[in-house]
C-alpha cells in the first residue's frame, strides 16, 4: 500500500505506530478519522481478480472492525436485533382500531406532512420508526375526508398504504402486504390522482409477484404504465418517473419467472424512459433514473443466472450518488447476491458490510440473513463474519 491517507486511517483505526507503516511519526495524536468503508469496499470488490489472499484477509479484518466499532458500535452480546413490530398496522387493518388519540383537526397541510414523513422514513430505512408511526398517520389521512377534503384524503390514504406495502415487503410480511396493497388501490381509485393509482398498481404487482403469480404481476405493471402514456393532465417528469418504475418492476418480475426475453425488452423500455427523464430523481417518494435502471439490471442479471454481467452493471453505479439510503443499501445487497452466486464469499461479505454501514435495518431481511448464514462455512477466512451473522439475526 502506498496511499498515505489510507495508511494514516489504518494506523489510527488499528492503533499502529505510524513509523511501522512507513509514515512520519506524529508528535500529537490526530483526531480519529471515520474510515470510509464504502469506498474501501468498492475498491476491494471491483479490483483485480488476482488480489493477494493475505492482503485480502487484512482488508476484510479492517473493514469488519471499522464497520462494527466506528460505525455501528459494539453489538449486544447474545441478542439478535429486534424486528420492527407491525402490530399497530395489523390492528388498524384487521380490526380498524388504533390506540393513539387522533389530532382533533386534521388539515391538508398536516396530512401532507404525514405522507412526506412516511416517505422519508422509508427512504432512510427507518423501518422501526415508520412501523410505529404509520397507523396514526393513516387514521389522520382518513379523517381528512370527513373534514371536507374527500379527494385529497383518498389520495393521501392511498399513498400511505403504498408506503405500508413497501414496508411489509421489506419485513417479509407478504400477507399484510396483500391487504395494504388492496387498500392502497381502493383508496387511490376514490381520489383524482392518476399517478397515485399507477403507484398503487405497482404495489399490487409486487404482491402478485411475491405470491408467485408472475404473469399477472407483469401484466398489472405494464398495463398501468401504458395507461399513463396518453395522460397529459399530470406533470411529465413525475409521469416518466412512475412509468419507468412500472416498467422496471415488470422487468424484474419477468426475470423472476425466468423469461429472459421479456425481462430484457421491459428493462429496455425502462431505460428509454430514463433517457427521456435524463437524471435520477426522487419524486413522490420513489427513485427513478438511469442509475435505477442499472440497479434493476444488476437484479435481473442475477435472477437469470448471469452473476458476471450483474457485477459489470454494478461497476457502473456510484452507490454514494444514489439519492436515498434505501437505494444505496439495496445496491450493496444486490452486489452481495451476485458475488454469492458467483461463489466469491469474500466479496459477498464485503458488500454485506457496506450494506450494513449504509442501513443496519435493511440487512435484517430474511434473504440477507440466509446469505450471511451461508458465509459461516468460511468463518476461518472471513474475519468478523460470525459477528455479522449475529448482528443481522442469522445466529442467536
Mean pLDDT of 342-356: 96
Alpha helices in 211-289, H assignment, sequence order:
214-228, 236-257, 260-277
State pLDDT tens for residues 274-309.
999 999 988 888 999 999 999 999 999 999 999 999
Would the pLDDT of 160 be above 60? yes
Burial of 194 (0-12, 13-18, 19+ CB in 10 A): middle
pTM score > 0.95 for this model? no
User: Would residue 106 be called left, alpha or beta, if left means φ above 0 and alpha means ψ between -120 and 50 degrees?
Assistant: beta
- Cα–Cα distance for residue pair 61/67, rounded to 1 Å: 10
Report the chain's mean pLDDT, rounded to a whole number.
86
75: helix, strand or coil: coil
Confidence of residue 49 (pLDDT cuts 50, 70, 90): very low
pLDDT-above-70 percentage for the chain: 80
Interacting residues of 236 by C-beta distance below 8 A, sequence separation 6+:
none
Residue-level pLDDT at 4: 62
Angstrom CA distances, 363 to 56, 109, 131, 272, 348, stand at: 23, 34, 17, 32, 13
- CA–chain centroid gap for 310, Å, is 17
Residue-level pLDDT at 379: 86
CA-based torsion, 384, 386, 387, 393: positive or negative? positive
Mean pLDDT of 360-389: 93
Would the pLDDT of 243 be above 80? yes
CA-based torsion, 86, 212, 189, 115: positive or negative? positive
Residue-level pLDDT at 67: 43
Confidence of residue 1 (pLDDT cuts 50, 70, 90): low
Residue-level pLDDT at 35: 38
- Cα–Cα distance for residue pair 177/164, rounded to 1 Å: 8
Residue-level pLDDT at 2: 58
Spell 309-320 as b/e; 16+ CB within 10 A means b: bbbebbeebebe
User: Would residue 22 be called left, alpha or beta, if left means φ above 0 and alpha means ψ between -120 and 50 degrees?
Assistant: left
Tell me which residue has cell 445466529.
395
Tell me which residue has cell 444488476.
298
- Cα–Cα distance for residue pair 262/323, rounded to 1 Å: 28
CA-based torsion, 270, 271, 276, 279: positive or negative? positive
Q: Which of 297-311, 326-340, 377-391 has the lowest mean pLDDT?
A: 377-391
User: Would residue 393 be called left, alpha or beta, if left means φ above 0 and alpha means ψ between -120 and 50 degrees?
Assistant: left
Amino acid at each position: 500500500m502506498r496511499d498515505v491517507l489510507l495508511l494514516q486511517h489504518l494506523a489510527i483505526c488499528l492503533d499502529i505506530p505510524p513509523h511501522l507503516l512507513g509514515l512520519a511519526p506524529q508528535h500529537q495524536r490526530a483526531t480519529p478519522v471515520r474510515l470510509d468503508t464504502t469506498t474501501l469496499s468498492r475498491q476491494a470488490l471491483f479490483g483485480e481478480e488476482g488480489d493477494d489472499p493475505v492482503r485480502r484477509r487484512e482488508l476484510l479484518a479492517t473493514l469488519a472492525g471499522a464497520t462494527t466499532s466506528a460505525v455501528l458500535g459494539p453489538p449486544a452480546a447474545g441478542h439478535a436485533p429486534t424486528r420492527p413490530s407491525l402490530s399497530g398496522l395489523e390492528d388498524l387493518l384487521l380490526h380498524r382500531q388504533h390506540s393513539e388519540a387522533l389530532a382533533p383537526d386534521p388539515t391538508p397541510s398536516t396530512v401532507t406532512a404525514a405522507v412526506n414523513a412516511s416517505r422519508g422514513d422509508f427512504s432512510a430505512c427507518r423501518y422501526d420508526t415508520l412501523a410505529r408511526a404509520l397507523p396514526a398517520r393513516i387514521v389522520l389521512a382518513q379523517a381528512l375526508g370527513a373534514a371536507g377534503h374527500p379527494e385529497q384524503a383518498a389520495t393521501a390514504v392511498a399513498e400511505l398504504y403504498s408506503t405500508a406495502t413497501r414496508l411489509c415487503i421489506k419485513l417479509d410480511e407478504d400477507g399484510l402486504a396483500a391487504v395494504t396493497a388492496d387498500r392502497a388501490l381502493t383508496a387511490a381509485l376514490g381520489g383524482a390522482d392518476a399517478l397515485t393509482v399507477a403507484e398503487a398498481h405497482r404495489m399490487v404487482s409486487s404482491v402478485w409477484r411475491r405470491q408467485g403469480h408472475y404473469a399477472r404481476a407483469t401484466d398489472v405493471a405494464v398495463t398501468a404504465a401504458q395507461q399513463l402514456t396518453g395522460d397529459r393532465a399530470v406533470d411529465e417528469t413525475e409521469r416518466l418517473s412512475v412509468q419507468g418504475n412500472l416498467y422496471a418492476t415488470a422487468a424484474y418480475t419477468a426475470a423472476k419467472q425466468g423469461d429472459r426475453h421479456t425481462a430484457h425488452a421491459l428493462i429496455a423500455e425502462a431505460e428509454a424512459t430514463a433517457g427521456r427523464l435524463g437524471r435520477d430523481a426522487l419524486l413522490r417518494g420513489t427513485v427513478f433514473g438511469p442509475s435505477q435502471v442499472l440497479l434493476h439490471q444488476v437484479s435481473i442479471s442475477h435472477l437469470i443466472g448471469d452473476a458476471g454481467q450483474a457485477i459489470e452493471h454494478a461497476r457502473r453505479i456510484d452507490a454514494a450518488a444514489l439519492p436515498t439510503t434505501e437505494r444505496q443499501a439495496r445496491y450493496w445487497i444486490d452486489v452481495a447476491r451476485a458475488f454469492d452466486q458467483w461463489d466469491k464469499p469474500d466479496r459477498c461479505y464485503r458488500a454485506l458490510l457496506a450494506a450494513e454501514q449504509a442501513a443496519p435495518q435493511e440487512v435484517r431481511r430474511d434473504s440477507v440473513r440466509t446469505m450471511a448464514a451461508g458465509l459461516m462455512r468460511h468463518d476461518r477466512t472471513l474475519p468478523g463474519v460470525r459477528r455479522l451473522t449475529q448482528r443481522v439475526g442469522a445466529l442467536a
